[in-house]
Amino acid sequence: MIPAAIILALAGICIYFYFDPSESALFPKCSFYCLTGLKCPGCGSQRAIHALLHGDLSTAVRFNAMMVVALPVVLLLCVGELVRTRRPELYLKLNSRWVIRAAFIVVTGWWIVRNLIGQ
């Protein structure tokens, strides 16, 4: 499970490093955006990852600011999942009520706000 995840992640990093999603037609467009014309919370993530892999933080923030903020949080939560049974008290801290609520509010809030301000 873990080796498979590492291989997938490395493959993804290579693809998003060498190909620019805003220039190549190969990358899938967001289904929500295609159907509604509105941006979903994840729109721009592929371009933002490409920018991040090239060390261009400001461009990444412009494509999807929330994704840039959420990435380290998601990585931390993944570590929490790996040590859940060995460090239950750490897992409880990482998955506390406020962390989960904040994640929910930030994701749904970003969904609404980015469509209002055109980000």
Partner 1 sequence: MLYWANINNVKVGPLEPGQLIAYGLTPETFVWRQGWQQWCKAKFVDEFIPWFGPDPRHTARPPMPSSYLPWALIVTILCCMPIGIVAIIYSSKVESRYASGDYIGSCKASEAARTWSIVGAVSGLLYCLFFGSIYLIQFIRLWH
What residues line the site for partner 1 (CB under 8 A)?
A: 25-26, 28-33, 40-43, 45, 64, 66-67, 70, 73-74, 77-78, 80-81, 84-85, 88, 91-92, 95-97, 99-101, 103-104, 107-108
Closer residue to partner 1, CB minimum distance, 53 or 107: 107
H or E stretch including 42? none
Place of tokens 């729109």: 43
Q: How far is the CB of 66 from partner 1 (least distance, A)?
A: 7
Report CA-CA distances (Å) from 21 to 9, 44, 63, 65, 79: 17, 9, 11, 17, 28
